[in-house]
Structures are given as C-alpha cells and as structure tokens.
Amino acid sequence: MTQQDWPISKFTGRCARTGRVLGEGEEFFSVIVPEGEELRRLDFSVAEWSGPPDGALGYFRARVPLKGKPKKPLVDEANLFEFFERLRDETDADAGGSEW
C-alpha cells in the first residue's frame, strides 16, 4: 500500500507546535490524526513532543533525511530473493518435495 491509497498530508519539514524548520538529520515525531475525511500528519521536534494527541491513529519517530545522500533501501533485493529461494527449498524438503 502506498501513501496515495490514504489521503495523508506529507512531511512539511516544520514543527507543528512552533513552526520551526526541522534541520537535516534531526529526529522528530510524526502523528497521524483524523481531520474530516482526510488523515493529517503533524510533525513535532523532539523537544516539543509531549505524546500523541487524543484521537491520534498512530505515531512514529523519524529523522529528517540528509540532502544529497541517497536513501538506503530497507531491504537488499538480492538478499531477499535468496532468502525466499532458501525458504522454498527448505519447505520443499520438509514436505517431501510436494508442491505448495
């Protein structure tokens, strides 16, 4: 599922409480709150975070990305593919070679 599947506002780069720009590499908290028919994302600096507001659907801690530094993928695709091949082979061996 992608962000396009849910009407959630994007990261603004500013603390929702103070309006201060969050700096590169700075940790912050994001919270998702319902607002009418949409879901609104509010970002807070660590210093201004006092916990999620009432009615929040969820929250997470993140870090402002560094400019010019490529994002590291969450999973190495080659390793993931290899893992599933090993899993398939182990499952086949355990099941006596039968199909799924």
User: How far is 56 from 42, CA to CA, in rounded Å?
Assistant: 10
Higher local confidence (pLDDT), 29 or 9: 29
pLDDT in tens, 19-70: 999 999 999 999 999 988 888 999 999 999 999 999 999 999 999 988 877 7
Whose structure tokens read 């959630």? 8
pLDDT at site 1: 46
Is this structure's pTM higher than 0.75? Answer: no
Higher local confidence (pLDDT), 12 or 3: 12
User: How far is 93 from 99, CA to CA, in rounded Å?
Assistant: 11
